[in-house]
Amino acid sequence: MRSMAARLVRDSSIVFFLLIFFAFLPGSARAADCRAGTLVTVVAHLDDDLLFVDPAISERLDAGWCITTVHLIGGANGADFAYVQTRERASRLAYARMAGAPDDWAESNIPIAGKLVHQMVLKAKPQVHLLELRLPGGGVRGGREPLGLLWEQRATLSTYPMNADGSVRVQYDRAALSATLRAILADASQIFTLNPDTVPFIEHPDHIFAARITRHVAQTLDKSVPIEYHITYPTGGWPANLPAAEVQRKRDIVASYFAIDGSDSSHVFGEYQWDGNWVARRYAFADRTDRPAADFQPHPVQLFNAASNRCLSANSAGREPLLAACTGSPTQQWRWQPLAVYPGNAHNAALVSVATAQCIAERDGFLISEACDQWDSAQRWTPWDFGLVYTPQRHCLGENDGKLTMRGCTLLTTRYRWATTQHTQATDLRLATAMYGDIAGRGDQSAIYVQRQHDGPGFNVYAASLSKASRPVLWYANPVPFDYRSTTPSCANDKLCFDSVRFLLGDFDGDGRADLMVISARRGGTAFWLLRNAGDRFDAPRLWLQTGDVLKPELAQQYVAADFTGSRRASVLIVQKRADSGLDLWIASSTGAASPAPVLWAQAKNLPQNTNFLPVHTEGSRASLVALDGSDGRLALTQIANDGAHLLIGERRVLPARFVPDFVKAAVGALHGKDSDALLLLTPHLDSASDDAVIDISTVDLAGAAKAPIQAAVLRGMSWSDVFPALVRDNRNTALVLYRRTDATLGDFYFTGGSAALLRYPVGEGFALGTAQDLGELPGLFSETVRIDRLAQ
């Protein structure tokens, strides 16, 4: 008994000691609380989850979930072990920032299904796990593809070392990788991965095989788990679709990663190169693990050429495909069909028409439609990342003079870029560039544009003359420092950042000179910051209005500046989405001393939530509005009157079918006198007979009885997707001003290129355009001056 009692006392002491010991262990040793759910994300490389999946990971972490991210590949194609360690260090820093925790991790090698996996657990938040399998990677554009060899050729792969000293490698074959991944997925409440339903090299082969393996293994779990597949490379040319606050947070996280991996994060704060493009986007499609699906399932795509604003269209057998206006018809649906090739072979896909089931072949320098033969080298294409398409004879597919063409693949412009959908950044009508106003108070108009800074999320504001070619003048510099090791948001504490604000130009203080307004989210509502015109610059921001939580930027379809009260001061129209349908129209106006409390002027329940509002200025009186929408596939116009206390919604009139909503850019201005009396509609001329880029200009008389658009002019030699129109009137005359992208040779990893430039056309009677005045190119890249102005198009 004494012996047993002594043993019990001894054992109790040990248990007590162990309890004390574990209580003071770092957080990594404590069990994480995963009752809210467990997200398992499986990707190829250590930046894929940050660029293509987040902010979905951040959202689950914020909601209290446990998150496990699996990186199958260590480093990159041909990288040494030191680079593997660098990328893992970058990933740890990014996830620490995501979690808002110190960059302090517990690292160990743990056995999973009999294989050692390198595990990294965030000590302050042990629900954050990173699992590194450290398999070798393949080439982004052809060559040996280890993951494909393992999955399709039953090869055995050796990992990078598991230990920091370079020792211990693990062998994986298809069965072993499947078993390891199945064990990791077993507790998942939700699974994220990349896109299995594409072909190399539209997306990285590593991305594709990582997703196909995950899909295959997830279907062996014997339970129904939601799984989402994330599209990668092509999204860089698609419209940005993330809320402003999430974009800003994601830029911080991704920039912290690339401050380690590559030692440069400047490209993350721009839209001119791959990483920066992807930050503002997340495109995915959902499924469940209990629904049987092949590793690859073909999905029809369009082949849209942004320079010509046309789609590739199938022709009859023996004839060449052609470019035509995008209609969504089956003749414009294509399928990239994988061919039986060794993984990594560049000639890996057939281009198949969904409408005819015929393949496109290249023979004797021409493209023809013919019966498919997977062994015929003339039908073996190479769809490429970043929008290039290589023909079977290694030409690049493109457009010239409105026709389909092929040429060598050097010194290419956007004429040789293709997208898998017509809904691209080039056709995103939410985007805006320059604002126009009289900043000198002398009746002359200037172009005011905002440009991203690349050392952080700040911006600069420039003024460019519309009377002569001259270098733009910096009117306001707004630097926002970026600290890659910080765990706090770069844009906290009332800092104004490019991606999370919107801009207005107007004379808000009534001194006859245009001021700048910057609008941001703040304290659950909306903050309006006034930057007053000081004659040669905009002053520092001061708070003009702070709203309550009734008015939020994430619900504001649009902001419009105009004199809606007849006080010779600009007011702000706040177009807010209603909870049921339609829009609420609020006016915030200031008389100088009084606070500009917003007042509800109209409940536009019947206007679609994607409506675009344009101010109609009336000299010495109150501004009204014209609204454009295309909710039913037809462009419609609604005039909105102003009685001084209410906005009166007029009749909605549908315009002729030639005005396709996705391909109309609009501007309002004064053609006769000082009152805004004309609505301009710019559309791409898509007649197949046209032999060059042509833009049609139609006008609608807002003052007269005739409301039908009238063809007024054409512009030649410019792509519709590259121009942003404005109709301005100054002391000299009325002019059509185009803020445009100049075409340029594109780099391998650029979706767009070229500087911004200004063109000014004097407008005569009957909208006769005078000789264009080239006001010159603006410093920097066009892409860095484009901003989102509306929530929906």
639 within some domain: yes
pLDDT band at 620 (very low <50, low <70, confident <90, very high): confident
Pair 275, 320 in one domain: no
Query: How does pLDDT run across 73-111, given as a tens digit for each residue?
Result: 998 888 899 999 999 999 999 999 999 999 999 999 999
Pair 90, 134 in one domain: yes
Query: How does pLDDT run across 38-73, given as a tens digit for each residue?
Result: 999 999 999 999 999 999 999 999 999 999 999 999
Burial status of residue 124 (CB atoms within 10 A of its CB: 0-12, 13-18, 19 or more): middle
530 within some domain: yes
What is the per-residue pLDDT for 219? 98
Q: Lowest-confidence range among 526-540, 684-698, 711-725, 753-767?
A: 684-698
254 within some domain: yes
Q: Tell me if 624 sits within 8 A of 639, measured CB to CB.
A: yes
pLDDT averaged over every residue in the chain: 92
Q: Tell me if 202 sits within 8 A of 390, measured CB to CB.
A: no
16 within some domain: no
What is the per-residue pLDDT for 22? 34
Residue in the structure block whose two tokens are 């162990």: 18
Pair 589, 638 in one domain: yes
Residue 1 reports pLDDT greater than 50: no
Q: Tell me if 276 sits within 8 A of 285, measured CB to CB.
A: no
Look up the CATH number of the domain holding residue 136: 3.40.50
Look up the CATH number of the domain holding residue 346: 2.80.10.50
Residue 430 reports pLDDT greater than 90: yes
What is the per-residue pLDDT for 29? 41
For 91, half-sphere exposure in the C-beta direction (CA atoms, 13 angstrom radius) is 30
Longest Cα–Cα distance of the chain, Å, equals 114
Pair 395, 504 in one domain: no
Pair 554, 417 in one domain: no
- Give the domain-ending residue among 401, 425, 449: 425
Q: How far apart (Å, rounded) are the C-alpha atoms in residues 107 and 104?
A: 10
Q: Tell me if 380 sits within 8 A of 348, measured CB to CB.
A: yes
What is the per-residue pLDDT for 593? 58
Query: How does pLDDT run across 11-22, given as a tens digit for each residue?
Result: 434 333 333 333
What's the average model confidence in pLDDT over 654-660?
94
What secondary structure, in 3-state letters, does 317-332 show?
CCCCCEEEECCCCHHH
Pair 308, 189 in one domain: no
What is the per-residue pLDDT for 19? 34
What's the average model confidence in pLDDT over 711-724?
94
Structure tokens at 777: 């190119």
What is the per-residue pLDDT for 344? 83
The residue range of the domain holding 356 is 304-425
Specify the 3-state DSSP secondary structure of 559.
Answer: strand
With a CB cutoff of 8 Å and minimum separation 6, the contacts of 593 are none
Can you point out the beta strands (E) in 456-598? 459-465, 473-478, 501-506, 515-522, 525-531, 542-546, 556-562, 571-577, 583-588
Query: Which amino acid makes up residue 566?
Result: G
Specify the number of domains making up the chain: 3
Q: What single DSSP character describes residue 53?
A: I
Pair 223, 364 in one domain: no
Query: How does pLDDT run across 501-535, given as a tens digit for each residue?
Result: 999 999 999 999 999 999 999 999 999 999 999 99
pLDDT band at 8 (very low <50, low <70, confident <90, very high): very low
Pair 411, 454 in one domain: no
Query: How does pLDDT run across 148-176, given as a tens digit for each residue?
Result: 999 999 999 999 999 999 999 999 999 99
What is the per-residue pLDDT for 688? 59
What is the per-residue pLDDT for 202? 93
Percent of the chain as helix, strand, coil, to the nearest 5: 20, 35, 45
26 within some domain: no
> What is the phi-psi region of residue 766: left when phi exceeds 0, alpha when psi lies from -120 to 50, beta otherwise?
left
Residue in the structure block whose two tokens are 């909503």: 661
Q: What single DSSP character describes residue 749?
A: T
With a CB cutoff of 8 Å and minimum separation 6, the contacts of 175 are none
Query: How does pLDDT run across 375-391, given as a tens digit for each residue?
Result: 999 999 999 878 899 99
Residue in the structure block whose two tokens are 């609608």: 700
What secondary structure, in 3-state letters, does 576-625 show?
EECCCCCEEEEEECCCCCCCCCCEEEEEECCCCCCCEEEEECCCCCCCEE
Q: What single DSSP character describes residue 533?
A: B
Residue 659 reports pLDDT greater than 80: yes
Question: What's the sign of the alpha-carbon dihedral 237, 607, 526, 477?
Answer: positive
Pair 404, 480 in one domain: no
pLDDT band at 731 (very low <50, low <70, confident <90, very high): confident
- Of 509, 599, 519, 531, whose CA–CA distance to 557 is shortest? 519
Specify the 3-state DSSP secondary structure of 560.
Answer: strand
What's the average model confidence in pLDDT over 457-476?
96
With a CB cutoff of 8 Å and minimum separation 6, the contacts of 704 are none
What's the average model confidence in pLDDT over 479-490?
95
Query: How does pLDDT run across 358-380, given as a tens digit for each residue?
Result: 999 999 999 999 999 999 999 99
Percent of the chain with pLDDT over 70: 94
What is the per-residue pLDDT for 618? 87
Pair 496, 411 in one domain: no
Pair 241, 326 in one domain: no
- Give the domain-ending residue among 369, 390, 425: 425
4 within some domain: no
- In sequence order, what are the beta bridge partners of 788? 431
- Give the domain-ending residue among 377, 399, 425: 425
Residue 407 reports pLDDT greater than 90: yes
Q: Tell me if 561 sits within 8 A of 528, measured CB to CB.
A: no
Query: How does pLDDT run across 765-782, given as a tens digit for each residue?
Result: 889 999 999 999 999 899
268 within some domain: yes
Residue 140 reports pLDDT greater than 90: no
Buried b (16+ CB within 10 A) or exposed e, 672-711: eeebbbbbbbbbbbbeeebeebbbbbbbbbbeeeeeebee
What is the per-residue pLDDT for 30? 56
Q: How far apart (Å, rounded) are the C-alpha atoms in residues 149 and 132?
A: 20
Query: How does pLDDT run across 558-602, given as a tens digit for each residue?
Result: 999 999 999 999 999 999 999 989 999 999 998 765 667 899 999
Rg from Cα positions in the chain: 29
Pair 527, 659 in one domain: yes
What is the per-residue pLDDT for 9? 33
320 within some domain: yes
